[in-house]
Structure 1
Amino acid sequence: MRVEITDLAEKDLEQGYLFYEQQQFGLGTYFLDALYSDIDSLCFYGGIHLKLWGYHRLLSKHFPFAVYYSVAEDTVLVIAVLDCRRNPSWIRKKLKAL
């Protein structure tokens, strides 16, 4: 499968990078490496994850983030990359607005 990342999901990744980079120099880069690795795994495992609020949800292995995506034919479309520590109602509203 082919994986595509929306501009909004890229913005989510950028915000996560900035947050972790402020915590410790280099941690933001590690965050991006880990999340892109998780997203790359969707080439093989896209569509097997639990559906929540209309999207499949992949939980990151190293950070408290979730990758929300949809599958159409042979393409995985990453819609959002959100912090799981946020209020669930905030996450639901954000996903419904997409």
Structure 2
Amino acid sequence: MRIKISEDASQDLINGYNFYEEQEPGVGEYFLDSLFSSIDSLVLYYGIQQKFFGKYFRMLSRTFPYAIYYSHDEEVIYIHSVLDVRQNPTFIKHRLED
């Protein structure tokens, strides 16, 4: 199983890194390590999370208030967005529909 991260999801990770790095140097790196660890674990655990907005599975980060929204087929896990779950759910829905 391969993992493909969309440009939007990559930008989400960069934005999260920048936000946490501004809070305190080094936390941005910890953020990326934590989120990539969660993304890597999808190879074993994809498809068991709850579905949101009809077609996206959502995996919650254990360390940061972020969710990984993804879909999959038989060969690839597609990471669509990595979003802060403290945002308005309507924003998250619109973001995933774009």
TM range (shorter): over 0.9
**C-alpha separation between the residues in 1 aligned to 2:15 and 2:95?**
15
Q: What residue ranges of structure 2 are gaps of 5+ in the alignment?
A: none
After TM superposition, the score normalised by the length of structure 2 is: 0.96
| Other-structure match for 2:59 | 58
Paired-residue identity, %: 48
* RMSD of equivalent CA atoms: 0.6
Q: What residue ranges of structure 1 are gaps of 5+ in the alignment?
A: none
Matched, 1:84 2:85: yes
After TM superposition, the score normalised by the length of structure 1 is: 0.96
**C-alpha separation between the residues in 2 aligned to 1:42 and 1:3?**
8
TM-superposed deviation, 1:21:
0.2
| Other-structure match for 2:46 | 46
**C-alpha separation between the residues in 2 aligned to 1:62 and 1:46?**
19
Q: Deviations over 1:39-86 (max 9, x none)?
A: 000011111110001200000010000000001112100000000010
Aligned length: 97
Matched, 1:37 2:37: yes
